[in-house]
Amino acid sequence: MNKPLRRIAIFCGLLVLTLLIRDNWLQYVKADSLAGDKDNRRVTIARYSTPRGDIIVDGAPITGSAKTSTTGLNDLEFKRTYKNGPMWAPVTGYASQAFGANQLESIEDEILSGTDDRLFFRNTLDMVTGKEKQGGNVVTTLNGAAQKAAYNGLKKQGGKGAVVALDPATGKILALASYPSYDPSAFAGNTDDDAKAWQKLQKKDNPSDPMLNRALRETYPPGSTFKVVTAAAALENGLYPDADTNTRSPLPWVMPGTTTELKNEGNIPCENATMREALRVSCNTVFGKIGADLGNDKMLAEAKKFGFDAEQFTPVRSSASVFSDDMNKSQTALSSIGQFNTAATPLQMAMVASAVANDGKLMKPYMVDKLQTSGVDTLEQTDPQELSRPLSSKNAQILQSMMETVVKDGTGKNAQIDGVTVGGKTGTAQHGVENSANPYAWFISYAKLADGSSPVAVAVVVEDENANRDDISGGGLAAPIARSVMEAVINSKK
């Protein structure tokens, strides 16, 4: 071969080698980033080219797929539909041709869209048999009756709020409601109407912020419901041996390092009250002093055992609840009654009630029971997982007896259920500049059946800016909602 031909051959060989390197770089190294590129329309077209799998509650789908009008420029064949969209939106999230997806719709997208590698055999079989490809299903732990009771209770109350219900023995999420809410069907497509519906839901145009998942993403001062954590810390650290020992709590009580008295709500019997009596009437002085006596480190350690200061993944992410470090004794006292810097999601406070009901064992909360093929073969099953042991079985049972006194003879009477033992704790949490805003009404509780089992623990928070301030209380606004949710779970097991 003469020299010019050899040079041309080498040059062509280098071009082919470059193309091979480039091809392998795109197919293997850059494949994931290209597939996830927001400008790669092929991925979106593929996602909406077949019916999406369903999200399942009580054995029935709460989602669906519908043919999209393909007139104009829309080349996406199917769009998502939702049954009772506003009620289920905090669970499902949304899947929109125009605005993407979030929550379960996003986290389990590969299963729902049918692109998960575990669906390869099923997809291949469908292709051979000529059956239309369809995504797999996400089977949730949710209880439809409990979710309905939670959502309708919040809606009837008005204002804003959230409810979380858990199965204490497993950590299964039975209800996850947030109000106000939104209908994901309203913007599931890619039209001007979808864009307008989306815009109306954005916080800058809608101050009620209906797309905020208040059950998982909003943290509130928990108020007196946090006294359950403080009582657990007192028992676990041996500050008091039981529920009925008189505490060393003067009245008035001046917070350490200050000249400020910690006030109670009204003229209630808090001087040297037992922890049972202090929880029954909700004494700030008793539980504030417990927090100061134990100190920041011990209170923080107990709060963390209940899940504070850590995000939770259900698998939808829940914001971390907060109990602060490096506080002085007076700040620790205020934090120990659920004020100062203390802040909690409704999920977190449901976890507190759940751990007490489950004899001190806190189970990891989760809302996906299993993943299935479109032919309902199980691909993955979630097993209950212990998260921590915030308190011993003995101390948990002491705390149960205290919470049951609150419902039987104290501030939580509105949560009573005939034939069922209910334990609970009310809370009215101050907030705003110098506590000027209407307080948040809280209630946490659990139900215990005659056989000793506890099928449900609940946390409810209600924020009502229009209510008469004097009418706002956890026992008045939140406890009736908790009762209806607990009744729904109990009745569904009959």
Give the CA distances from residue 2 to residues 8, 111, 295, in Å, rounded to whole numbers and listed in that order: 10, 59, 90
Contact, 349 vs 225, CB < 8 A?
yes
Backbone phi, then psi, for 140, in 5-degree steps?
A: -90, 170
Task: Please state the rounded mean pLDDT for residues 145-162.
Answer: 95
* Domain membership flag for residue 194: no
pLDDT-based confidence at 356, cuts 50/70/90? very high
Contact, 93 vs 105, CB < 8 A?
yes
Burial readout 65-102 (b: 16 or more C-beta within 10 A, e: otherwise)? beebeeeeeeebebbbebbebbbbbbbbbbbbbeeebb
Contact, 344 vs 460, CB < 8 A?
no
* Domain membership flag for residue 468: yes
Residue 469 reports pLDDT greater than 50? no
* Domain membership flag for residue 286: yes
- pTM as predicted: 0.89
**Residues with catalytic function:** 224
**What pLDDT is attached to residue 274?**
98
* Domain membership flag for residue 322: yes
Q: What is the CATH number of the domain that holds 356?
A: 3.40.710.10
Which pLDDT tens digit goes with each residue over 106-126?
999 999 999 888 876 666 666
Backbone phi, then psi, for 263, in 5-degree steps?
A: -90, 150
Rounded Cα distance, 116 and 49, in Å: 16
* Domain membership flag for residue 72: no
Rounded Cα distance, 474 and 353, in Å: 15
Contact, 176 vs 345, CB < 8 A?
no
**What pLDDT is attached to residue 129?**
61
Rounded Cα distance, 388 and 292, in Å: 25
Query: Of the given ranges (104-113, 191-200, 251-260, 466-475), which has the lowest mean pLDDT?
Result: 466-475
Query: Given CA atoms 215, 216, 219, 222 in this order, what sign does their dihedral have?
Result: positive
Task: Please state the rounded mean pLDDT for residues 266-289.
Answer: 96
* Domain membership flag for residue 51: no
Query: Of the given ranges (32-46, 110-124, 339-353), which has the lowest mean pLDDT?
Result: 32-46
- Compute the radius of gyration of the chain from its Cα atoms: 27
pLDDT-based confidence at 70, cuts 50/70/90? low
* Domain membership flag for residue 84: no
Rounded Cα distance, 46 and 224, in Å: 51
The residue to which tokens 């998982």 are assigned? 216
Q: Which of 479, 161, 206, 150 is nearest to 345 (CA)?
A: 161
Query: Of the given ranges (5-14, 67-76, 441-450), which has the lowest mean pLDDT?
Result: 67-76
* Domain membership flag for residue 428: yes
pLDDT-based confidence at 467, cuts 50/70/90? very low
Residue-range definition of the domain harbouring residue 480: 223-492
**What pLDDT is attached to residue 472?**
46
Q: Work out how many domains the chain is built from and give that number.
A: 1
**What pLDDT is attached to residue 15?**
80
**What pLDDT is attached to residue 28?**
64
Rounded Cα distance, 109 and 100, in Å: 11
Residue 434 reports pLDDT greater than 60? no
Residue 342 reports pLDDT greater than 70? yes
